[in-house]
Structure 1
């Protein structure tokens, strides 16, 4: 555990999800692949590839730049855009979108949360209020983490995604704790560290990259704390 900035009294924790509380490697990729397979069941989309899907996804982003704040809306709009280029009746769009999103969500939540994460959150939750701030679409209740947190905020649904201020401000308001007493923990230097610091939070960077923080992309400001393993946070108890 490294300390780069002085720490105010910590009164609450907020956590990122993916690659912070669990290893998210290939989870999204697998979910996207299975969703594309689902879409391929329709004759008009039988030749669709994951590359085609991502090309369409970024074409949608070009047309609607703000859509990236909400990954769920972005995915639905991408599927809808693909369907609009086929002869599938518009009346069938909702059914195809629903089955595709359901498939994606099934695989998206095939996450193995380490026992060490459960143990840490159990200990922290006895002393601090805990909350989630995520840019993804994981439902904490579906992966067995719901009981530890007072609430979970998601980019798009609860304001612009990290590092923008709305979602951090809302977390502070819902916790009823000033932002300078809240430690945000995450693996992304831009969305988590810069986002937290620029919005008055304390920042803890979990360095999963095994590289000097100063050599990492987006290392424009130092966090208050750097850790390499989540259980190190127990040292703050």
Structure 2
């Protein structure tokens, strides 16, 4: 544990989700793998489609609607609709197929293995502070049992622009009714989490699970505190 800035009293804690409270890279990899397999089996017209093809559809949607980048779920939905139209489906079948694919995506996206230690730590913290989740991702804490610890969950697109934009951070402070300087944001990303939180007037805790050297990181933003394990929060709050 390393302290870089003086911490003021903490009255609430906000958390990033992906790769902060659980490992997310393997979840995304498996989700994309399962989804591609499902799409290929959906119709023989999709037999040879690949992830590059799917990304091309997303790229087109982003160009047409630049602000959609802040809502990755809606981006996926619209690009899936585009795929169906591209392959000759009418509107009714496009909507039906898109809903089926998005349902499959939601299932696999939330097959997340939450460490038992995460539940234990949140259980202890929630007795002392209001907790909030602020995420750029589209995992649903209700599905994997973390929602009970949070007063509310803010998601990019629905609740504002992607972090490091101030939108969700400031909304969190407003809904909590607590000044930003008394809120500690915990996240794994030095830009989206640490820079975003500090620019919003919050305190920031960098969870550096991979034990990277702060001095070697690009676009460096100094957190208030660096920890290597989530359990360290119990000793600084």
The answer to whether the superposition gives a TM-score over 0.5 is: yes
- 5+ residue gaps, structure 1: none
Deviation at residue 14 of structure 1 after TM alignment: 0.2
Aligned length: 236
Deviation at residue 51 of structure 1 after TM alignment: 2.1
Deviation at residue 54 of structure 1 after TM alignment: 1.9
- 1:145 counterpart = 2:146: yes
TM normalised by structure 2 equals 0.96
Segment of structure 1 superposing worse, 26-35 or 68-77: 26-35
TM normalised by structure 1 equals 0.96
Counterparts of residues 108-127 of structure 1 (less than 5 Å): 108-127=109-128
Q: For 1:83, what is the secondary structure of its paired residue? A: helix
Match of 1:36 in 2: 36
CA distance in structure 2 between the partners assigned to 1:173 and 1:27 by the alignment: 32
Q: For 1:141, what is the secondary structure of its paired residue? A: helix
Match of 2:159 in 1: 158
Deviation at residue 194 of structure 1 after TM alignment: 0.4
* Deviation by residue 1:174-228 (Cα, 9 ceiling, x = unmatched): 1111111000000011110000000111100111232201212332x20001111
Match of 2:2 in 1: 2
Counterparts of residues 53-202 of structure 1 (less than 5 Å): 53-202=54-203
Segment of structure 1 superposing worse, 23-32 or 111-120: 23-32
Deviation at residue 59 of structure 1 after TM alignment: 3.0
CA distance in structure 1 between the partners assigned to 2:25 and 2:166 by the alignment: 28
Deviation at residue 104 of structure 1 after TM alignment: 0.8
CA distance in structure 2 between the partners assigned to 1:36 and 1:161 by the alignment: 26
Segment of structure 1 superposing worse, 171-180 or 210-219: 210-219
* Deviation by residue 1:90-116 (Cα, 9 ceiling, x = unmatched): 221111111101111111111111111
CA distance in structure 1 between the partners assigned to 2:211 and 2:55 by the alignment: 29
CA distance in structure 2 between the partners assigned to 1:116 and 1:209 by the alignment: 17
- 5+ residue gaps, structure 2: none
| Superposition RMSD in Å | 1.2
Deviation at residue 151 of structure 1 after TM alignment: 0.5
CA distance in structure 2 between the partners assigned to 1:217 and 1:44 by the alignment: 44
Deviation at residue 60 of structure 1 after TM alignment: 2.2
CA distance in structure 2 between the partners assigned to 1:54 and 1:189 by the alignment: 26
